[in-house]
Structure 1
């Protein structure tokens, strides 16, 4: 019988999904991404499908999907994500971790089951006897994330045309063969230095100030544009977590109708992490010695944006 693992921090969601899915599958539940991974490491039989919430305390559904692809037992297990808000950023993150699709919450059983069936249709371990039925025409056979352009084939290379034979010029006894002129020497182009990031000057300025340990700029898709100073962890790792925190805080602000995120400050015993939007696409992340340096960073950022 088909096995499905449901991962959600909400007890009501877990119970609702268990009730819906248990009619056609064996359902296991986990209250967090960490709990799901712990069950798998403890010997839980690999499921045929994993359905996970996106926003949960601790690891997100995106991070869970990424970790599952690192485990041999779940390398090819399809993952469906659930989210109350689905936008381009959510789609992009889901594609990055190879999720099969994203389900918008709340949903009904009639909306959920065709998507579950579509995800299971390509899942390993699903036998012909337990293969899911086809989804009705109104529901796409695969979630939106899997649609994409078909393979692109290169045009065949033209067949080579044989060159016409060239007859050597006749020589006379008094004629010496002409010496071939040396080929012209074309000077090599001078190396072009890569253009610095538009934000590198800001980062270099910030990390020169007392109290600022390191700084980083990332795009809305989590790509590191520039970094400077000591970030304590790899820039890509810091960007991944900063993006998660900013996305979560922004989603909460939208739910509370408080407008766009203007900043996020995380205070630890050993320092402060300050996240500030640079514009609609980029995010500034600074690692500070203490909370007292945050106002100085905000002032420097306002000055930079005013003079830019």
Structure 2
């Protein structure tokens, strides 16, 4: 089995390839400099030359606030790029795994969203990711759609790194406390994705580390694990306005994973501990 991973320069793509290499899989990753996924001919030519058995599509336009004013580029990468890759995968007989997001939901209510709930995105980024989901479902039968949330990994920027950086120069921080979801460690998620593509239990899944928290609770856990003495002030979404509206409820049910016999990822607190250990090891190198 030959696995092609897009978005290798991002947090998740990097860890999927890293996990694949650790397992001795035939896996390769590509970034923007290797392939412009918004160019249909380039995508067709690249995939037909490589002829992978599986494409794990992690590449995306993820600048949520910027997307509100950069709609065309966001659409071209997230929708058109996904369409071209799905078409190419179908043409060479490859399975296709598409990474989606909690932003396909409107964030209303307090109950975890089910895989079968109808998406209702409230911003440009979420809308393009949902449109891409629909393209995948229309184009290729052998597909997995995996919605993830609050991602952190060693290769890139994320909430944990931001909090630790800010704590270097501040004694207290204001962090939103009325948005709830599940942090996701890309190293944990990568293992699940690679297990998934070796089977044929296609469909829509939700995957993140277990448990729910607010961003403020997430921050407090980061500082506790790092032994950083800093005060976290809980504020409302309205007190921290952003260009794009964020869903207040990003809780997602994992029923589909359970039903199909996949393992659940470890608790998010455990993932934070292991991630901070990993960061510290990188610093000591």
TM bracket, shorter-chain basis: 0.3 to 0.5
Greater Rg by CA: 1
Normalization by structure 1: what TM-score? Answer: 0.34
Task: Tell me which of the two structures has the higher relative contact order, counting C-alpha pairs closer than 8 angstroms and 6 or more residues apart.
Answer: 2
Q: Which has the higher helix share?
A: 2
